[in-house]
C-alpha cells in the first residue's frame, strides 16, 4: 500500500513506541483504502492520557469527563461521501481529513475490560475514529450504529486483528 498519506502521531505520554505509531499509521491507511479514499490526505493523531483527553473533551465539546477517543472531522460528510481533491491544501496537496485524540489509559483499561490485547483496542479506536472523520456516526442504537460497527469489524478483519488478537 503506497504511503501517500501524511499521518503525524504525537504523544504527550511516556511509553508510546514506534511499533504503536506504525500500527496506527497502518490501521489508518487500511481504513482509508477500505472506504475508497484514493487521494493523498492528512490525519493528525494525538496520544494522551485520561487527564489530557478530559481537558480536550471539556474545551471542545463541553463534556466534563475523560473518554477513549475524540474525532474532529474537517468536513461534514455522510458515510460513503468523500471530500474531493479540490479540498486539498494548496501548500501540501493533501486533503486534511481531521484529527483524532486517543487516551492510552483508556486503551489499556478497555483492553483489560473486554479481554483482548492493547494492540487490538488501539486498532479498534483508530478505525472507529477514521470512520467518524469520514462521516459515520452512532448516535442512535439503530441502523447508523449497526453500519458503523459492521465497517469497523470488516476493516479490523482485513488487518487480521480479531477480538482475541494477542500482543500488547
The per-residue pLDDT for range 23-55, each reduced to its tens digit, is 999 999 999 999 999 899 999 999 999 999 999
Query: What domain count does the chain have?
Result: 1
Is residue 65 very low, low, confident or very high in pLDDT (cuts 50, 70, 90)?
very high
Q: What pLDDT is stored for residue 163 in this prediction?
A: 59
Nearest 5°: CA angle at 29, between 26 and 35? 140
Q: Which residues contact 18 (CB under 8 A, 6 or more apart)?
A: none
Mean pLDDT confidence for 70-92: 93
Mean pLDDT confidence for 3-18: 91
Domain assignment present for 143: yes
Domain assignment present for 153: yes
Q: Which residues contact 22 (CB under 8 A, 6 or more apart)?
A: none
Residue 157 has pLDDT above 70, yes or no: yes
**Domain boundaries, position 119:** 9-159
Is residue 143 very low, low, confident or very high in pLDDT (cuts 50, 70, 90)?
confident
Residue 139 has pLDDT above 80, yes or no: no
Rounded to whole angstroms, how far apart are CA atoms 67 and 105?
Answer: 10
Q: What pLDDT is stored for residue 141 in this prediction?
A: 65
The dihedral over CA atoms of 71, 75, 79, 81, expressed in degrees to the nearest 10, equals: -150
Residue 4 has pLDDT above 90, yes or no: no
CATH number, residue 21: 3.40.390.30
Which of the 8 DSSP states describes residue 85? G
Is residue 2 very low, low, confident or very high in pLDDT (cuts 50, 70, 90)?
very low
Q: Which residues contact 53 (CB under 8 A, 6 or more apart)?
A: 66, 67, 68, 70, 101, 102, 103, 106
Rounded to whole angstroms, how far apart are CA atoms 65 and 55?
Answer: 8
Give the full edge-to-edge strand order of the sheet including 41-48: 9-11, 41-48, 95-103, 69-73
Amino acid at each position: 500500500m503506497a504511503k501517500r498519506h501524511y499521518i503525524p502521531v504525537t504523544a504527550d505520554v511516556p511509553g508510546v513506541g514506534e511499533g504503536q505509531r506504525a500500527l496506527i499509521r497502518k490501521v489508518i491507511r487500511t481504513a482509508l483504502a477500505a472506504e475508497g479514499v484514493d487521494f493523498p490526505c492528512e490525519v493528525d493523531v494525538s496520544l494522551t492520557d485520561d487527564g489530557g483527553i478530559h481537558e480536550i473533551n471539556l474545551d471542545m465539546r463541553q463534556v466534563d469527563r475523560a473518554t477513549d477517543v475524540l474525532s474532529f472531522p474537517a468536513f461534514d460528510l455522510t458515510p460513503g461521501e468523500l471530500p474531493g481533491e479540490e479540498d486539498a491544501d494548496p501548500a501540501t496537496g493533501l486533503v486534511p481529513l481531521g484529527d483524532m485524540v486517543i487516551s492510552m489509559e483508556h486503551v489499556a483499561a478497555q483492553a483489560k475490560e473486554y479481554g483482548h490485547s492493547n494492540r487490538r483496542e488501539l486498532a479498534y479506536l483508530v478505525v472507529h475514529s477514521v470512520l467518524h472523520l469520514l462521516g459515520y456516526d452512532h448516535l442512535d442504537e439503530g441502523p447508523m450504529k449497526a453500519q458503523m460497527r459492521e465497517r469497523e469489524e470488516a476493516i479490523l478483519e482485513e488487518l487480521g486483528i480479531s477480538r482475541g488478537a494477542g500482543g500488547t
